[in-house]
Structure 1
Amino acid sequence: MTLQTPIATASAPTSSRPSPVETPLRRVLREFASSHLALLGLFVLGLIVLLALFAPLIAPQNPYDLMQLDVMDGRLPPGSQSLNGMTFWLGTDDQGRDMLSGILYGLRISLTVGVSSALIAALVGASLGLIAAYAGGRTESTIMRIVDLQLSFPSILVALMILAFLGKGVMNVALALIIVEWATYARTSRGTALVERRKEYIEAAECLVVPRWRILFKHLLPNCLPPLIVIATVQVARAIALEATLSFLGLGVPVTEPSLGLLIANGYQYMLSGKFWISFYPGIALLVTIVAINLVGDHLRDVLNPRRPS
């Protein structure tokens, strides 16, 4: 009788390489890829931005060129043709302006005003909020009292008062929106910076006599960016809506530079007569733009939430 000894099997050597650390940008992209609504909003927003950028190449007509407008083509329904054979797929307004061209060019103005005002307001408000949190004392008290005073008034009322004084114009609308929006960034950045202000890396930088501007913008600001990015995304949609409201009320952009709000206002008086397309299609474009931005902003808020488990 023979005894069989068990054969030892060699186990495969395990890899000793550490798993790669996921960067914040990769995590944001991974989270976006996992949300169908966020991807849809990002796709629609990217498409709208491309249409606005290439409007001079895509639009059948330049709505700013009075030589291309004909009053005889005014208020034509969608699908109509002009005397020169041009097809108005979305109809025309009371001035004979092609609605499709007006929407494409109007998107340029609305996005320009919304993005520029949000970025400048974020820069001003975040800087003042960081200064208030780091300096403390009378400086903080003065800045925050101004912020409280600013936020105590309705935004649309403040913007109306500013434009009533400055007059119409794209630059004036952007300036009014900056004045309206900066306080939100200041309060958010100040609240976030107060938490970071007490941490060890700030105390170490102060012990090393690092210049204050470097502590503010190199150490404090990067750690305050996530909530500011979320607010900036939402504020872009809010600024576009406010610009459309101001233009609808007649205090926004001039008639020679039609935005979506002004296009909606042009057709408001014709709604009851059945010529709905003059206001309907610009309103749909405005709605889709704001919804797309809000979808992206809502998902960014979830992704950049520090309390959310990774």
Structure 2
Amino acid sequence: MSGAALAPDETPLRRFLADYAASPLALLGLLLLLLIAAAAILAPWIAPQDPYDLAQLDILDGKLPPGSPAGAGFTYWLGTDDQGRDMLSGILYGLRTSLGVGAGSAVLAGIVGGALGLLAGYAGGRTDGAIMRVVDLQLSFPAILAALMILAWLGKGVANVVLALVLVEWAYYARTVRGSALAERQRDYVEAARGLALPAWRVLFRHLAPNCAPTFIIVLTMQMARAVALEATLSFLGLGVPITEPSLGLLIANGSEYMLAGQYWISFYPGLALLLTIVAVNLVGDHLRDVLNPKLQA
């Protein structure tokens, strides 16, 4: 268990990895996530074609079923869409956008929300009240509705999607980190730092923040999965990334009208890739929560 004493030759990192490796589901999620991330990063080198280079597309190859041969000498293992785009290549490139937007927005929202949560929990009083009223107001709106309203004003684009997701996600970090900071500020080390008249910023970021880090990491992982799903939803609805950018949500939307006609693969395989990505991130996050949960420490 996590609360057991460390062996003489065992470091905290080794104990963490041992605890993490004890769960087959967590390992499966981690391996799957690493595989998906590697495929996204290496897409330009391993994809059979650049699905957004018009010179490589042939409209006559549109809506070919999985396993069809391509004129360029490779096989459309997952079929093609209505533009003759190789679905495997589209998914690999789409993962780059989905993971990039998800991770980028989660980190930026975490920085903003985490800093405000630390400030609210440490300062208390009117500062805490003001920040938490804004948080409550933010959380009262459904995230997808708020993101749609923001993008309807800002317009399409990867940067705008990231900004919209940051604006709708920061409050989750602020509320969670604030709760952790409230508990930590009662501890002796914070009282000692105050007694030494250390600057507030030093107490916040040098002493309080590291001890709130486990909670932050757990929320970051969970919100990354949420951000990936939100980006796909926004792109599916036509308010996410532009059609010139690869995205799993756009690929799913492009094939939705062909499902009833029997060309299921145009939407099915991007949807499966999206599902596996979200499941992998959630499996990793669920076990991180169990390993890093302070209540499990003896």
Residues 8-33 of structure 1 show CA distances to partners (whole Å, capped at 9, x for unaligned) of xxxxxxxxxx9527544222201111
Greater CA radius of gyration, 1 or 2?
1
Aligned counterpart in structure 2 of residue 105 of structure 1, from 93, 102, 108:
93
Q: How many positions carry a matched residue from both structures?
A: 293
1:261 deviation in Å? 0.7
Q: Sort the Cα spacing of 1:54 and 1:19 in 2 relative to 1 into closer, same or farther, 3 A.
A: closer
Aligned counterpart in structure 1 of residue 234 of structure 2, from 226, 235, 246:
246
C-alpha separation between the residues in 2 aligned to 1:126 and 1:186? 5
Aligned to 1:34: 22
| Structure 1 stretches lacking a partner, 5+ long | 1-17
TM-score normalised by L of structure 1: 0.92
Residues 260-309 of structure 1 show CA distances to partners (whole Å, capped at 9, x for unaligned) of 11100000000000000000110111111111111111111111111115
Matched, 1:298 2:286: yes
Secondary structure in structure 1 of the residue aligned to 2:294:
coil
Matched, 1:212 2:200: yes
C-alpha separation between the residues in 2 aligned to 1:101 and 1:230? 32
Aligned to 2:144: 156
What pairs with 1:47-196 in structure 2 (closer than 5 Å)?
47-196=35-184
TM-score normalised by L of structure 2: 0.95
What pairs with 1:266-285 in structure 2 (closer than 5 Å)?
266-285=254-273
Q: Sort the Cα spacing of 1:218 and 1:115 in 2 relative to 1 into closer, same or farther, 3 A.
A: same
C-alpha separation between the residues in 2 aligned to 1:225 and 1:84? 50
C-alpha separation between the residues in 2 aligned to 1:19 and 1:52? 39
Aligned to 2:3: none
The residue type equivalent to 1:135 in the other structure is A
Residues 213-268 of structure 1 show CA distances to partners (whole Å, capped at 9, x for unaligned) of 11001100011111111111111111000101111101111111121111000000
After the TM superposition, list the runs of 4 or more consecutive aligned residues in structure 1 that deviate by more than 4 angstroms: none
C-alpha separation between the residues in 2 aligned to 1:48 and 1:57? 15
The residue type equivalent to 1:270 in the other structure is Y
Q: CA RMSD in A?
A: 1.4
Aligned to 1:223: 211
Aligned counterpart in structure 1 of residue 13 of structure 2, from 25, 28, 52:
25
- Identity among equivalent pairs (%): 69
Secondary structure in structure 1 of the residue aligned to 2:287:
helix
C-alpha separation between the residues in 1 aligned to 2:192 and 2:208? 13
